[in-house]
Chain A
Amino acid sequence: MAESIPTQPSDPHADDHHHEEQSFVSKYLLSTDHKVIGMQYMFTGMAMALIGGFMAYAFRMQLAFPGVEVPLWGVVTPANYTALVTNHGAIMIFWVAMPVLIAAFGNYLIPLMVGCDDMVFPKINRLSYQIFLLSAIVLISSYFVDGGGFGGAWTTYPPLSAKAEYNLTPMGASIFIGAVGLEFVAFLLGGINFITTAMNARAPGMKLYDIPMVIWMIVIASILFMVSVGPLLAGAIMLLFDQQLGTAFYDPNRGGDPVLWQHLFWFFGHPEVYVVLLPAIGITAEIITVFSRKKLFAYRTVLNTAIGTGVLSFCVWAHHQFISGIDPRMAHVFTLTTLLISIPIAEMMFVYIATLYGGAIRLATPMLWALAFIFEFLIGGVTGIFLGASGADIYLHDTYFVLAHFHYTFFPIAIIGTFAGVTYWFPKMFGKMMSDRLGKIHFWGTIIPFNFIFIPLFFLGAGGQHRRIYDFQNFPALAGEGMQDLRILATTSLLVMLGFQLVFFYNFITSLMKGKAAGKNPWKANTLEWTAESPPPHGNWKELPTVYRGPYEYSVPGREKDYWPQDEPN
């Protein structure tokens, strides 16, 4: 299936599938193997998650204990604070959620689940990771240039982001935009690969409705990304020109329009939520069916709903701009579309609950994560309805209510979704079982503190606490004992949650070294990746599989086994 880059057909057998002996560098650093690239994305994403988590720790300490000397960081100055908040947001979305959920799982799973030996364009795939790594390095380098890292929020609204005299980071602001731009190029290359592979390289017999849901979701997410990223790239070029060449695209004094950026940004920014949400929903679908031994309820409905959600997600962006001076009549339209989009998402949640109903549920670690995803995302979705209504949003805009809301969406997506996927596919990735007991300790040690971080923030936000304040002691209405106690509770919970991540890393490493051998199919699942060796060799199968049925034939009446792998003739 592998074929060279279209612009370079000079080497028709460009992939190196037939090399058996490879040096460390060519095997792990310059590999075109989709599994290795998936791992590279995953480990880079995890490393960035540690950086992003550390940033959250530093600025949360400042909020709970203003002016304190934060261990491992020092005193958080106002400039530090804004740069930390900005980069925490950007890193968690662009360098954690996207690389892990789309790129890592997409790379690892698509060829294995559709039954081919590699991505369609393996060299483009390798280039994609290299550009992504470069973008991460560029972003981190912005902390070490004159003026330090950019601190104008991850949404980079002009005029603050457009002029060095406002943001005081002449280099940092441009490096930030450059890094995000590079990251988009990386995902563009990845997305082309994902869609083309899933459409063109499927195993014989695998028809469109036999594709596992997680693959569909990654494909739809990639399409959403590709359609939405163009306007943002256009806007980013304009912003870069405003910063470096002195143009006035966003300068209202010279004929520009700052709200234009908000439109271009959120036209991308809102579909982006679904770009990362859909893969997490797909991962959940795989896990829930396997651990309740039931067929996915309404496969085609889920698929059509996901496509519908994708289309609708392009019609909601201005709900981020209700107080940016847009026409109130427009606000009505966007309120309507925003509330509409909760319907397909709610429907997917019902579908999952219907899948669970009457199943033989087994609460292994991946299943706990999948159930937690549904539960926690539900809170995120329901609080979004308040914010989608323009009337309520005028009060709640830019408060911690908004912050808590989107953490209740992004945390389930990026963190819970990732842990669900990692614990579920770990046996396939490394050939070893993870400890279920440690996995459950880590699960509860993450989920309980997570809720204790963000539920207090809902109350603080409803109480009027603004998002972008460095030290609440300067605001008598926000400095009261009760409010400060809630902040301390949130920060303490964060520390507890970060501490419990050590359990995960301990579990990861010890399982890798001396975990029980997993075998091909430890969860007794149907999809094709479980028919390959664990871990799958270069090229995945000696003989590529043939598909005979859909991916969710569990507990079929009249069969001895309660699962029916896709590649078994009967």
Chain B
Amino acid sequence: MSAGLSSGSNDGLEPIDRTAKRPVVANGILGMMLFILTEVMLFAGLVSAFTIAKSAAPVWPPPGQPRLPIEATAFNSVVLFASAVALLFAHRAFHKGDRESMRRPMWLALGLGSFFVIFQGFEWVTLLSEGLTMTSSTYGAFFYLIVGIHALHAFGAIALLARANHRLQQGWLTPGLFGAAEMFWFFVVGVWPVIYLVVYL
């Protein structure tokens, strides 16, 4: 009846395995999962707020405001996905225990990720010069808010990956750190298509 979940009102006669078990999910990973749960909800809040503002507006995007660079960002999104793919190769090498062949995909993932953020920066500069600002319209405000918060997360995730990479060079990268770093990066990559579809298109 209790199906292994409970010692329940055991009468003390049945033998129960008391050996300490390894946790199903490692501490660092579980902690990061919980953190990402909060982050998912943060982006859900932002995106739904955006959707509400968009659906309430008579014309969207507001007239007289510059358009977002859909094609250039599509290219940049591909770069971001490529970074995640590179990280997957690093992941495979890491779990094979092959630290040597892990180095190149790690650098690649870091490089492509950084390219994404820098490219976004240039995009912002262009849009600002075209007159799209936080105060020019709610369109601009939401754009900079959502994409900016995503960029902040990308910064954080790149820093964490760089730290993991540094440890890798030193030769003592732990599964906990690598797992947390790659999870955070996959989160940053995974949330981007939603932003692209909702905010850009």
Contacts and interface: CB of A to CB of B under 8 A. Distances in A.
A548 B25 contact: no
Given A3-B27, A231-B41, A192 B174 contact: no
Interface in A528-570: 546-550, 553, 556, 569-570
Interface string A105-120: 0000000000000001
A196 B25 CA distance: 9
Given A192-B34, A234-B49, A549-B8, 8 more contacts: A188-B35, A196-B34, A204-B19, A223-B34, A230-B42, A233-B45, A235-B49, A254-B138
A231 to B, nearest CB: 3
A6 interface: yes
Nearest to B46: A234
Interface string A460-495: 000000000000000000000000000000000000
Contacts, number: 167
A186 to B, nearest CB: 13
Interface stretch (A26-34, A43-51, A244-252, A319-327): A244-252
A74 interface: no
Given A208-B6, A248-B135, A248-B141, A264 B41 contact: no
Contacts of B20: 204
A238 B141 CA distance: 9
Interface string A204-243: 1111111000000000000100111111111101100100
B16 A192 contact: no
Interface stretch (A62-70, A255-263, A335-343): A255-263
B129 interface: no
B32 interface: yes
B9 to A, nearest CB: 6
A188 to B, nearest CB: 6
Interface string B16-40: 1011110101111011101101111
A9 interface: yes
Contacts of A301: none
A195 B9 CA distance: 26
24 contacts: A6-B27, A6-B177, A192-B31, A192-B35, A201-B23, A207-B4, A207-B7, A210-B7, A227-B37, A227-B38, A229-B38, A230-B39, A230-B40, A248-B137, A249-B138, A249-B145, A256-B53, A257-B53, A264-B49, A548-B10, A549-B7, A549-B9, A549-B10, A550-B8
A234 B40 CA distance: 11
B188 to A, nearest CB: 15
Which of the listed residues B5, B9, B141 has the most CB atoms from chain A within 10 Å of its own CB?
B141
Contacts of B43: 230, 234
Given A209-B2, A257-B56, A570 B49 contact: no
A229 B41 contact: yes
Given A260-B53, A548-B10, A570-B12, A230 B45 contact: yes
A260 B42 CA distance: 15
Interface string B101-121: 000000000000000000000
A510 interface: no
A191 interface: yes
Given A209-B2, A249-B49, A546-B18, A7 B39 contact: no
A137 interface: no
A213 B53 CA distance: 43
A238 B180 CA distance: 29
A204 B18 CA distance: 6
B34 A195 contact: yes
- Identify the 4 closest CB pairs spanning chains A and B, nearest first: A230-B41, A231-B45, A209-B6, A234-B45
B111 to A, nearest CB: 21
A548 B138 contact: no
Nearest to B60: A255
B135 A6 contact: no
* Best-surrounded residue of B10, B31, B44 (most CB of chain A within 10 A): B31
A199 interface: yes
A205 B135 contact: no
B166 to A, nearest CB: 10
B8 A195 contact: no
A121 interface: yes
A230 B49 CA distance: 12
A247 B134 CA distance: 6
Contact of A200 (B30, B45, B46): B30
Nearest to A209: B6
Interface in A495-512: none
Contacts of A231: 41-42, 44-45, 48
A121 B44 contact: no
A247 B141 contact: yes
Nearest to B41: A230
A550 B2 CA distance: 12
A550 B12 contact: no
Interface string A1-45: 001001101001000000000000000000000000000000000
Q: Which one of B16, B18, B34 has the highest number of Cβ atoms from chain A below 10 Å of its Cβ?
A: B34
